[in-house]
Each structure stands twice: as C-alpha cells, then as structure tokens.
Structure 1
Amino acid sequence: MIPMLPSAASSDALRVSQDLIDRKKVSALGTSSRPPACYRPSRKAIARGVQNTAHPPWRPRVIASPDELLEYFVSYAVHIEQHPLQEDKVFFCRGKAVHANLRKSRPLTMAGFCVFLGITPQAWRCWRKKRRDLIDAVELIEDAIFAHKFEGAAAGIFKANIISRELGGIKQI
C-alpha cells in the first residue's frame, strides 16, 4: 500500500482541531484570556494617584454623565408618547361591524427605561447606590416616573388599581 500524503485541506483541519484541543486544555487549567472579574489598581497605581473607579478599563460605561442620562430619559419619554399601545376595537354601527384602532397611552416605567437603555434593573439599583455622579439624575428620573404614573391614574388615563399597586398604595392580601 502506498502511503498518502496529507493534502493542504486536511492539514488545515488538523491545525484547527489541534488549536481547539489546546484551548480546551487552557480552559481546563483555569487560565484564560478573560480579564479578571474585578478591577483593582496596583499599589504603584494608587501611589501615582489613580483612583479606583471600580469600573474596569476594558468595559466602557454605558452612561458617562448625568446630562447624558437625562437626555436618554427625555428620548425615552418622547418614544413612549410617539408609540402608544394600539387596541383593535370592534363597534357595531347600523348593523355593521366597524374596526377601529384606539391609541392607549403607555405609562413610563423603570423596567421600560432600563430596557430602553439596555441595562438590567440590577445595574440601575447599583447606579443609585454607588454612582455618586448620577444620584441627582437618578432621583429626578424616579420622581418623574412616579409623578407620571400617579397623575395618569388620578386622571383616569391608567387603571388606578394597577398603578397604585405598583406605587405601593395597595397591599395584597
């Protein structure tokens, strides 16, 4: 039998499979190319005056300043106004069924704003506790959302029982 020489395609496949095996060995040993979970500057960095921002340099902040956060909130409120919920309602008029699309106002919510920003509610709570630069903007946004829900429920735009439960007015039995 004549031994076959490996072709270029098969040698590429061997290289790729060997690379995958090497990666699995590295991940099994616990060493990986991922950065550490928590960023802590070295003693030399602290001596040079580098502040520990508790934010790793390889992941940029979603919100850099309070003004940027407030701009995002205003754009969220405009988005909510421009995109109300649509309800398909059927009316009977003179024996005929008539379809109508009713526009229903949407309340501003913290969960909706977090989705709009692309963050988790846990990140929002972390901002409220730890980001001293955003404290005023966070409180202003939470107060604006509370006022929007409360005034909408008082005016009859939103269902009062749902809004009052969310605002903490009704305790469930």
Structure 2
Amino acid sequence: MMPAPVGNRFWEQRSSHGRKPIFATPDDLWSAAAEYFEWVEANPLTEEKVFNGKDGIVRADIAKMRAMTITGLCIFLDISQQAWSEYKQRDGFGEITTRIDEIVRTQKFEGASADLLNANIIARDLGLADKSELNVAGSLQTMSGEDLDARIALLLEEGRTGAPPGGAGKAEGKK
C-alpha cells in the first residue's frame, strides 16, 4: 500500500465535515418524535396484580401509563442528550424542540393529575416541588413527608382544574 502523497489536501474535497445530522429538517425531527409519542401510547408499562376470585387466586396484568421523557425520546431517536441540546440551538429547530418539550411536560403533568402517574415523582421531575419548605403567605413552613405529599396533590389539582380544590383556604399546610 502506498502512502498518500506528501502535502496532499484530499480532505478539503469533502462537502462537509463530521457526521450529517440525523434529522435534516424540523419536519424530520417532528415525524420521529411523533413516532415516539405513538410508541409510548402503544407500549404501556404493566403491573401484575393478584386478586382473590371465586375460583381462587387470579393473576392479571394491568396496563399502566408510561410517562414520556426527553431521555426516553433521545434513546428512541438514537441520539444523545447533548445532540438534543444542539438541535434546540440549530436554526429552524427551536419551535419544534419547544413543542416536543411542552408535549412531554404536559403528558406527565396530566398523567399525574389524573393519578395515572406517581404525583410525587412527576412533581419533582417537573420542578413543582423539590423542597420540604414552602413559603405560605409570607411565613416559612416545614412540612412532614405526608403533609408535603398532600400539598403537592392539592397543587396538581389546582393546576388541572384552575381552582383550589374544596374552596379557598383548604390548600394551607398543617403547622
């Protein structure tokens, strides 16, 4: 095998450098994300439940909502989270990546609001409650885990319905 000639500049003949982006257009990215959304709906998680029936013990698989995540989307699209961040910065991709982020966030929020997903996990993931201290009417309160869980559930209900559940004043935590 002969070495390349000294001083060659063959590399300059490439039309581009590095790997081509997987998604050349925002529409390509949207189509792939829509496939992920469909996959999430078509592939719920399952939980085995055991029931005591009239003929004895009965086992059944119960379908449970699968939460959409950006990490799951990246795995589905076969891209890294770094690549996702880069798509967000690319010209023309901002609107699509924002819409995808909003769909993922809304699906998790609505799933938690309807008790289809664990409200505590989703609230923390969405940044709705990641501290056990709340500033209520200008005073700082520390809540136990149970009180905090109840407060998170109330906040999720308020977000779902737009009004405090059970009327005004009910959302206050215990002192």
How high is the TM-score relative to the length of structure 1? 0.64
SS at match of 2:75: helix
Q: Structure 1: give runs of 5+ residues left out of the alignment.
A: 1-18, 20-34, 36-40, 42-49, 51-55
Please tell me whether residue 157 in structure 1 is matched to residue 94 in structure 2: no
1:53 is aligned to none
Please tell me whether residue 170 in structure 1 is matched to residue 144 in structure 2: no
1:107 is aligned to 67
Q: CA deviation at 1:155?
A: 1.2
Q: 2:87 aligns with which of 111, 121, 127?
A: 127
SS at match of 1:132: coil
Alpha-carbon distance between aligned partners in 2 of 1:79 and 1:60, rounded to the nearest angstrom? 26
Q: CA deviation at 1:122?
A: 1.4
Alpha-carbon distance between aligned partners in 2 of 1:58 and 1:124, rounded to the nearest angstrom? 17
2:103 is aligned to 144
Alpha-carbon distance between aligned partners in 1 of 2:61 and 2:110, rounded to the nearest angstrom? 25
2:31 is aligned to 71
1:79 is matched by which residue type in structure 2?
A: W
- 1:37-48 equivalences in 2 (<5 Å): none
More helix by share: 1
Alpha-carbon distance between aligned partners in 2 of 1:67 and 1:156, rounded to the nearest angstrom? 33
Identity of matched residues, %: 34
SS at match of 1:60: coil
For the 8 Å contact 2:65–2:111, the answer to whether it is kept is no
- CA offsets per residue over residues 70-109 of structure 1, 9 Å max, x none? 1111110111111111111111123611010111110111
2:125 is matched by which residue type in structure 1?
A: E
More strand by share: 2
2:38 is matched by which residue type in structure 1?
A: V
SS at match of 2:124: helix
- The count of aligned residue pairs is 122
Q: Structure 2: give runs of 5+ residues left out of the alignment.
A: 2-10, 133-175
Q: CA deviation at 1:57?
A: 3.5
Alpha-carbon distance between aligned partners in 2 of 1:133 and 1:63, rounded to the nearest angstrom? 12
How high is the TM-score relative to the length of structure 2? 0.64
- CA offsets per residue over residues 135-169 of structure 1, 9 Å max, x none? 11000100111111111111111111110000001
SS at match of 2:61: strand
Alpha-carbon distance between aligned partners in 2 of 1:63 and 1:111, rounded to the nearest angstrom? 17
SS at match of 2:50: strand
